Each structure stands twice: as structure tokens, then as C-alpha cells.
Structure 1
Amino acid sequence: MVVSVAGHTDAGSLSEQLAEGLLGTLNHRQVASFDVDELFDYRSRRPQVTFTENRFSDYRGPRLDIFEVRDAMDRPFLLLTGDEPDFQWERVAETVLKLIQQLDVSLVVTVDSLGLPTPHTRPVGVTAHGNRRDLIEGISTWSPNAQIEAGLSQMLELRVDEAGRDVVGYTMHVPHYLASGRYPQVAVAALEYAGAACELMLPTDELREAARTVEADISRQVEQAPEIAQLVQKLEANFDQFSSTAQRSLLVKHDDVVPDAEELGAAVEEFLRSRPEDVKPGTEEQIPPPGADDDGDTPGQPSG
């Protein structure tokens, strides 16, 4: 299960971009939806509505949903996404935990993001946490000891850990001067970490293209503003001084050799050749109902 909700730890609009990237590309279906009238204070975060000439349309209220999604290799996983509730966090966490236990979900991965004094010219940093040492050890670029304000993601991670289930989280670091807008780089990084942890092939092509556009726009603005360029240089110097020089990749084990592009491509091609001819990715009908495998006879379990 992948968890990404829009709350106070959502710098760079991570949750929205992650959901768009997954649900806009992969086969999926909604399996649960929380009662938003019970969970949200509409006056504290007023929904958006469009007014055109003399009519209202496109009302966008809060949502919190669970989807069953199939990755590029047709492997199933659950996605909890939407807005962080104002109320009843414990009941939401209890409901999610019951689903995790009923479906025997093997791993829960939370992804969120913070605005930190890091430069956009360096790779997106991360703070890894959870109870699976093999998925967090040597990953973090910054691991402070601090008391912080909790969100639903942090509380849910704690409750899953207390229940004895495997859970990890990846908090991405967004340059603080870019935290209020859409920063595609953070969504790319989050999908890479979540995909590697859950052994899923998650789409990032469109987000990478958007990231290149944003990168070019930022570079132009920095070139036109010497004071911003000086700020970025100071952040770069600080980042290079204190960042870890031996960050581990989740894509390989400690003693493994990193495969090159040709080896990865050959492995993917071999997998695709081995698939049955009647399996055609890209159609919603390929997703079986909850609790059933492809034949509809035996209970199935999401991999993450």
C-alpha cells in the first residue's frame, strides 16, 4: 500500500502530482471512499468552484479514497490518497489498518515532503523512517532528532508499526523557495522510492518531462536575479558540506552490482515475452474484484 495525502507535509504539491501520475496512467478502480462530511471542516479549507458568466460548475470538494492500482507489469497495489482530514484521525487509521490486516498487505509505504533549505541544483534529498531496516538504512540524506507536528501520515505509520506490520516512509526534501508551487521533481523521487520499496514499476515519464520544463524556468529566473543566484550558491555549499556521500540505492542490495541500461531493458523484454497472450495492459477490465485472483476463484492479496 502506498499512502500519500495532502496535508502540512506536502511541499511542492507532492500528493496531487503523485495521484495524477498514477491514476492518470495506470489501470485502477476505487475500492473505498471516506465520508468527507464526517472528516472535514469546510470553512477552514473552503472547496473551489468555477464561475463562468452566469453559472457555477466544477465544484471540487475534499476527498479521501483508496484505489486498487495495477503497475506497468500488472502487479496490484493499494493507494490511499486525497486530503488530510480535519477530524477523526484515529477512526481513519483504524479503518485503514483493518483493511491492511484483512488483505494481508505485505508493506505500507508513506511518502510526504517538507520545504527545507536545500538547492534545486542537487538531487532531491530524503529522510527515511520505519521498521524495515533493509529499506531505510543508508538512504537518508538528513536524519534529525526533533519533535515535529504530526500529520495523518505520521500517525498512520506509527499505528501500523504498533500493529506489527511492515511500514516505511520517505519524506522528500523540497527547496523551501519552491515549496508553495508544483515541483515535479519531488513526485518523481517519491515514486522512485515507493516503487523500489514495493517492487513496483511506477510511471514517471510525464513527471520527468514536467520537471525538465520547471528546471529550465528556474534556471532562467536565477540567471536574471543575482541575489537569488547567491542564495542558491550558499545552499549548494551547505548541502555539499553536510549531505551524506554514501547514500544507498534501494534498487540494489548491499553486495549487488548495479545493472546497466541494456541489462534492465533485456529483463523487461524477457518478462513481457513470458506473459500470456490474452493479457492486454491498458484496459480496466484486467482488474479483478477484491478478494479474487485473475480466475475469480481464490482470494488475492495486494503486494503493497
Structure 2
Amino acid sequence: MSGVLLRHRGPAGPDPGRPRFVLYGPLRLLVDGAPVQLGPPKQQALLAALLLRLDLTTGPDQLIDALWGAQPPAYAKNLVQKYVSGLRGVLAAAAPDPSGDGPRLLFEGGGYRLDTDKDLIDLYAYERLAATGTALASNGSPEEAAQHLDSARILVTGPLAEGLDAPVLERERVYRDERFLADMELRAELELDLGRHRNAIPYLYFMLHKHPLSERLSWLLMLALFRADRGAEALAVYDEYRRRVVAELGTDPGRALRTLHHRILAQDPELTSLRAVPAPRTPLPPGE
């Protein structure tokens, strides 16, 4: 993967002495950097569900649906109470904080709420960094945007709550995977617009391997290869993508990819300056 895409590590994280939750990859609670035992898998899934609904109260029936879906066990409410009790013990042992600033699992308004700081959860740190990067890209600050998206990217160490089985987690993984793909497409677009197409190529190959039907990634990789004087490889990427979508979907590539293919065949010189990220919109003067 590109050295440029890996080089930025962003600002320092929160105080390492405070308990931190990691949702990307295996679910973890870290205290002084060391993982804490979280109990059985369904208890961990309950913790993940509460982390996804931070600041919100979740009733027992909602938690049962989140953990088991349409076919819960007959004693599901007892299990939820058991797991809540277990999690409270885990949190109390992991962060005995007389000031009350440690994470707490509260019962209020007929439901459960996990009380902790969003800055101590990697998922919300990702959202903040990615949203800021997207806004900077829209405002014409590509270098800063790329740095924020890089800082977001390195937080994603695997699927959300990897290895845990619960309907709520399966749904959330689909959303998070699509969100990450969109953010990383923007990251590659910025790399091209910054003139670092050679650095973007290995990253795009990596992403396309993970998302072989992504037409946008194929488009970006073809453009990067053309700009790096590797036009034959760009055409090969198109041919491979076309074979794949014909075989798997029974259709041809979309218009944007076909147009880029024709322009590469024609050695269109304007491709060297084609913007991947749309130019920032200039506000109209008042009254227009």
C-alpha cells in the first residue's frame, strides 16, 4: 500500500489511561492499552449493541431483537439481565473510578444506557475524522482532507465487532462497509487530484481486490494507471472488469467506465488534468 497513504497518523488519541472501546475488529475494552476480558459472546454482543446506541436508552425488548432477532430463546429476558449484570461487573473491575467518570451501564426510563465518552470509542472517532475529511474535500482543501481520511482509515482494523453473531451487528456491518468504501473512494480521488497517481495505484489494486464489482474503483485505477504511463494495464483493468460484470451480473460496464476506456484508447491528453473530486462550488453573490 502507498507510503503516502500510510504516512499520516493524525493527532494523539485520548488519554491512554482511560478505558477505551474498540469496535472495529474484535470487540475490545482497553485499560492502559491492555484488553479486558468481556465475558461470553452474547454478553459482548450486548455491549456492542449498547455502544452503537450510545446516549440512547434501549429497552429489554429492543435488546432481545438486537441479539436474537425474530426467534429469541424463551428465557431471553433473563439472559439480558444476566449479561447486563456481567457487563456491570466488567466495567466496575476495569475502571474503578471514584470520580464517576468511568463507563457505566445505567438503567433509566425502562431501558439500559451505556454512559461513556464518545471520544473513547474508535467508531465515533472514525465518523468524526471521515466527516471532517469529506467537508474539507468539498471546500477545496485536499491535503487536509486526505490527512483526516488517512487518520480515519487506520482505525478500521477489521469488520465491526468481528466474530460476534447478532442481527443488529450484521445490519450494522453492511452499513459500515459501504461507508468505508465511499470514504476510501474519496481518499483515492484526492490522491489523484494531488498528482500522486503512482502512490494511489497499489492502494486501488488492494481496494478493488476487496470490492471487485466497484465500478468507481475500477475507473480510478484506470485513470491512475494511464497517468503513470501504464495505459496497457489500464485497458487490461477494463477488460477484466467487463468480463466479471458480464459473467456475474449479465450486463456491461456503465457509461462512465466505457467513456474512460474510449478516451484511454484515444490517448486523450485531457485525462492528465481531469479532476476526480468535483471542484468546490463558488457561492453566488447575494441577490443572484
Same fold (TM over 0.5): no
TM-score of Structure 1 vs Structure 2, range by shorter chain: under 0.3
Is the strand fraction higher in 1 or 2? 1
Determine which structure has greater relative contact order: mean sequence separation of CA pairs < 8 Å that are 6+ residues apart, divided by chain length: 1
Is the helix fraction higher in 1 or 2? 2
Larger Rg, first or second structure (1 or 2) = 2
TM-score (norm 1): 0.25
